[in-house]
Amino acid sequence: MFDINYLTESGFRGNILIVKNGDVLCEYSGGYADLSNEIPNTMDTRFATASLGKTFVAVGILLLIEQGKLKFEDTLGRILDIDLNGIDPEVTVEQLLTHTSGVPDYFDESVMDDYEELWKDYPSYKIRKNSDMFPLFIDKPMMYPRGEKFQYNNTGYVLLASIIEKVSGMDFDAFLKENVFDPCGMNSTGYFELDRLPSKCAHNYIYCKETNDYRMNIYSVGAKGTGDGGAFVTAGDLVNFWMGLLENKILSKDMVSKMISKRSGDGADPEEGYYGYGVWIIDNPDGTDHAYMQGCDPGVSAIAEYDPDNNMISVMLSNYGDNVWALMRKVREMA
């Protein structure tokens, strides 16, 4: 059993769920889903998850590949009938999946650190569907030649969601609900507009040092999630996702193995040195590599990791942007 006091000694606000061999080892809820009305987070609270949703998009793409409707080597120019401007039309699906495409990143995290800056000239309330992100990058040049290197890229997953929409004929979030969320029993998961959230969704809060209080993040992120992130989930749904994936409810065993294996990266960073298809890979020289999904936005932090050696799934979600990565390191120590 995990020491919850040790895990949450910093006053963690959010949910923790750790499951091993199907048994719950740790279950915790802390903080308020609605701070003003002091409504607490509970285990059925839905949390925004930022870039964690990239994993769902990757799975959607891999499913289309297994269905024979798409290939890893298919190119943007062949699939999308839009003017790509300066974006190389020979960029492949696999390069988009592995962050090696070089397409212009609307939010280049290597040089930008304030996501709120994006919305000064292009209001966040305009983001209602995946294609609404295109004005943020479509007129920009390639960052580097396709396939040259690994560099985390948000635009790549917006383009992957567009590929899902083109190939399936469905909005990407509707496709994911039907083909990923429903088969895994992720009944509380979805892409919701911030001005019409369903029940049990947590508000997200940003601390303001100047006034020593909190404000909601509604003007800091798009009004609805897109291909690069923004799904609302419960901790239980993320456990169900990993279990459904590993039990081959969506993809074949071979494809899951490819997904959670090293596909790109140089290993320079111990946690973000390698990438699979939609997941980060932690090299484990003493056993099997760990795979995890993660997300971070103003007032949002999320991580969900699969430890194959211990058959353990660990989920941490915070609607205050608390340090879920530090918690996950503690879990790895105690596993």
- Our CA dihedral for 269, 321, 22, 185, rounded to 10 degrees, sits at -110
C-alpha–C-alpha distance, residues 248 and 271, integer Å: 26
Q: Grade residue 123 by pLDDT with cuts at 50, 70 and 90.
A: very high
Q: Which residues pair with 154 in a beta bridge?
A: none
Question: What pLDDT is stored for residue 113 in this prediction?
Answer: 65
pLDDT at 115 over 80: no
- Our CA dihedral for 244, 248, 250, 256, rounded to 10 degrees, sits at 100
Domains of the chain, start order: 40-233+247-300 (3.40.710.10)
Residue-by-residue DSSP string for 313-329: EEEEEESS---HHHHHH
Any idea how long the chain is? 335
If DSSP codes are grouped into helix, strand and coil, which group holds residue 94? helix
Q: Residue 297 in contact with residue 117, Cβ under 8 Å?
A: no
Residue with the two structure tokens 């974006």: 87
CB atoms within 10 A of CB 237: 25
Q: Residue 317 in contact with residue 27, Cβ under 8 Å?
A: no
Question: What pLDDT is stored for residue 118 in this prediction?
Answer: 83
Question: What pLDDT is stored for residue 112 in this prediction?
Answer: 63
To 5 degrees, how large is the angle CA 109–CA 93–CA 106?
Answer: 25
Share above pLDDT 70 across residues of the chain, in percent, rounded to a whole number: 98
Average pLDDT over residues 123-148: 96
pLDDT at 220 over 80: yes
Q: Kindly state the DSSP code that residue 47 receives in the 8-state scheme.
A: E
pLDDT at 110 over 80: no
Question: What pLDDT is stored for residue 107 in this prediction?
Answer: 84
Average pLDDT, the chain: 96
